[in-house]
Amino acid sequence: MIKEVIVVEGKSDTNVIRRAVGADTIETGGSAIPESVIKRIKIAQEKRGVIIFTDPDYPGERIRKIISQAVPGCKHAFITRDQGKGKRNLGVENATDEVIRNALAEVRTEVQGLYQEEITLQDLVNAGLIGTDEASERRRLLGEYLGIGYANGKQIHKRLNQFQISKREFEAALETLRGDLDE
C-alpha cells in the first residue's frame, strides 16, 4: 500500500489505481476542480503526502498545474501517451497494472519557490529541444525517459529544474537517447 494519497481525474482512474497498488485516491472530477477538492488535497498533503497522477493530455496537465500551484510540494507520477492509449480515449484508466506500479515507483518531487537552475534554456537549444522542427518529438522522448512527461519548451525547462534533474542526468539521458533523437 502506498502511504501518499493519489490524485486522479475520475472513478475509472481510481479503480485502476486500487487494482494495481491498493492506494487511496482523491478524484478531481475534471479540470474545473472545486475548492472543496483542493481543500481535501491540502489536508491529504499535510497528513500523508500527495502524488498527482493525471492523464498524459492537455486537461491532465492543466489539472496537474492547478493542483501544484494550490498545494506546494506534491509528488508527480507520469505515464506516456502510448501507455495511456485506449480504444476511444487517452488516460490513466487505460494503463496496465505494471505501468501504474512503475510510474508510482518513479515519482518525482517538485521543488517549490526558489530553486537552483542547473539546466538553462541554452542547454535546451543546444540539445535541439527548442527551436527545431524535431524539438517536440525530442522533448517527448526525453520526458518519457526521465519520467517527467511531455511538455512544451518552456514547461520542460521548468520541470527539469523543479524536479531537480541534474545537468549530469540530463546529459546522460540525451546520450542514451542519441540514436532515437537523431533519427
Residue ranges of domains in the chain? 5-109, 121-181
| Digit-coded pLDDT (tens) for 15-37 | 999 999 989 999 999 888 999 99
Q: Does the pTM exceed 0.85? A: no
CATH class assigned to 5-109: alpha beta
What are 86-131's pLDDT values in tens digits? 888 889 999 999 999 999 999 998 876 656 778 999 999 999 999 9
3-state secondary structure of 156: helix
- The b/e string for 4-18 (b: 16+ C-beta within 10 A; e otherwise) is bbbbbbbebbbebbe
